[in-house]
Every structure is written in C-alpha cells, then in structure tokens.
Amino acid sequence: MSQAPLFAREMGLFARFGVYALLSLSLIVLDARYASLGWLRTGLSVVLDPLQGLVAAPLGWTHSVSQFMVAHNDLIRTNTRLVRERDALGVQQQDRQTLQAENDRLRALLQLPPSPRITMLAAEIVRAMPDPFSRKIIISRGATQGIEAGLPVIDASGLVGQVTQVSAMTAEVTLLTDRDQGAPVQDQRNGVRVIVSGTGSDNLLEVRFLDVHADLKAGDLLYTSGLDGLWPAGIPVAQVLQTEPPKHTPFARALCRPLGQVGQYRHVMVLKPHAKGAR
C-alpha cells in the first residue's frame, strides 16, 4: 500500500466527483443521441466475453454430467421419436423443394426477381442481459461467423428478435417482446398487413394502431410480410388473442401471443441472406 502523503495535494472529493459525473454524462449523451461509442463497447466486450465463458463453463459441465446420467430407456425412446420426426420432416422437405422449384419457374414466367435465398446459422443462447430498459439475449456467434447487425433471429416455433450489436465472438439479440421492437406482419387468413410490437412482457405482443374496421380475429396467425426488405416473408410471428375496441384513441388494439419461445430453447437460428448473385 502506498504511503499516504501528510498533506493531500489533490482535488477535493466533490470536485473529483464533478469531473467523473461530467465525463459519464457526456458518455451517456454520446451513446444515446449519436450512438458513437461502438468501438469502446466492442473493445471492452473482447475482455469480458472470455470471463463470461469462464463463469458459464461450470454450468455447462453440470449440464453434460446430468446428460451423461440419462437412462438407457429414455435414450431409446427419444431416439425412436427423433427418427420418426426426421422421416416426417424429410417428406415435407421433398415437398418443399418441389414447391420451391415450381415457384422459381412461375416467378421466371412472370419475370419477377427470384426470391432471396437465406442460410441459417445455429447459435446458442449464452445469457439474458440484465438491462432494465430492454429485453435482450446474448448468442454465441459473432462477427467472425458472419453475423451482422440487423439479421433476424428465429427458433423452431417462430420469430425471436433481431441482432442489434455484434462483437467478435458473440452477438446481442433484441427480442421481439422489447417495447421498441416491431415486425411487419401479414394475417395468414386474409392477408391484412399490420405491425406487431413488443409490450415488454414475455408472452404478449400488441398491434398498436389497428384500423377499427380491420378484419383481425382471435386465433389468426400472423406471419412476417417481408415488406421491410429486412426479414424474409413467411416466418410465424404471433397468434391474435383478442382485439380491443378503441378507448381514448381513434385506433383499436389487438393483443397477440408470440410464437417464438425464448425461454424454452437453448438454441436459435440466425437467418443470413446470400450475397447478391450467389445461389
């Protein structure tokens, strides 16, 4: 420990606090208004990510140990179920390929541009962000695997969210349930186009500004419309729970249940469009 000087030759406590407060406030303004601190964030997260991995490692070990102790019967049962599911999926896949080929031919006949091809990158959910202002998760793929900000993220049952920040080995996904997140969707039944947004709650989405006469009923399935040019069309997003008549505003409101299940799966898929011209 260093020797404390007899007479302190330094700024007073409150003056020092003033300097640091000014510094933090300018950082806050820079980040909130101009979003110009990405480099600092990426730099610090390069240090933090390995630490995070270190801490999460024991949890991974307990997981693998408990998997090792699984009963033989369970394994056989799961295996039979999976083989059956794979066979069913194989049939669907063949069907899909024929449809895709037919679709391509029809689009060519109509002289429409071919629909964009996408690849799927599987990623593991590392952790949920403790952020009181938004709902985010961290996934285990980053810029080195070709993840970019803006790519959509789905799981086995539907749309989960969107990549909002990328560091070298991890990426931050803002969930669809975040209040600032939204997705342009289309009703599967009649093609009505609306925008669903998050409410901040885990299992509720809403259509905020719904036309009073819009034909949206409880039970309708909403799929991405692909109109934003960002997310491919046809990803299941939500199911309408109920519509509320307008109360104090000229607009009605519809409540929906998100189809993507963030809490249940450890893995998600990031959809990456192919480069132009490449097939």
Partner 1 sequence: MNEPGSQPAVKPLLLQGSVLTQPPTRAKVWGTLMVALLLSLLPWHDQTLWLAPDFVLMVLLYWNIYAPRLAGLGMAFGLGLVIDVAHGVLMGLNALAYCAASLAVLAVRRRLENFDVPRRTVQVAPILLAKEVLVLGIGLMAGRDNVDWRWLAAGLVAGLLWMPLAWLLDRLCGRPGLTGKAAE
Footprint of partner 1 on residues 40-79 (CB under 8 A)? Answer: 40-41, 44-45, 48, 51-52, 54-56, 59
208 near partner 1 (CB under 8 A): no
149 makes contact with partner 1 (CB under 8 A):
no
The token pair that represents 163 in the structure block: 């990549």
Contact characters 155-174, partner 1, x per CB under 8 A: ----------x------x--
Q: Between residues 151 and 216, which has the closer beta carbon with respect to partner 1?
A: 151
Sign, CA dihedral 152-156-159-160, equals: negative
When asked if residue 39 is in the footprint of partner 1 (CB under 8 A), the reply is no
Which residues, listed in sequence order, are joined to residue 118 by a DSSP beta bridge?
A: 273
Alpha carbon separation from 163 to 42, 194, 202 (Å, rounded): 15, 22, 18
**Closest distance to partner 1 from the beta carbon of 246 (Å):** 22
One residue of 87, 95, 104, 131 binding partner 1 per CB under 8 A: 131
SS3 143: helix
User: Residues 62, 133, 229, 248: which binds partner 1 (CB under 8 A)?
Assistant: 133
Q: Cα-flanking dihedrals φ and ψ of residue 164, to 5°?
A: -115, -25
Q: Residue 229 is which amino acid?
A: G
- Report the distance separating Cα 87 and Cα 85, nearest Å: 5
Give the whole-angstrom CA distance, residue 187 versus residue 166: 32
Question: What residues line the site for partner 1 (CB under 8 A)?
Answer: 1-2, 4, 13-14, 16-17, 20-21, 23-32, 37, 40-41, 44-45, 48, 51-52, 54-56, 59, 126-134, 136, 138, 165, 172, 178-180, 200, 202, 262-263
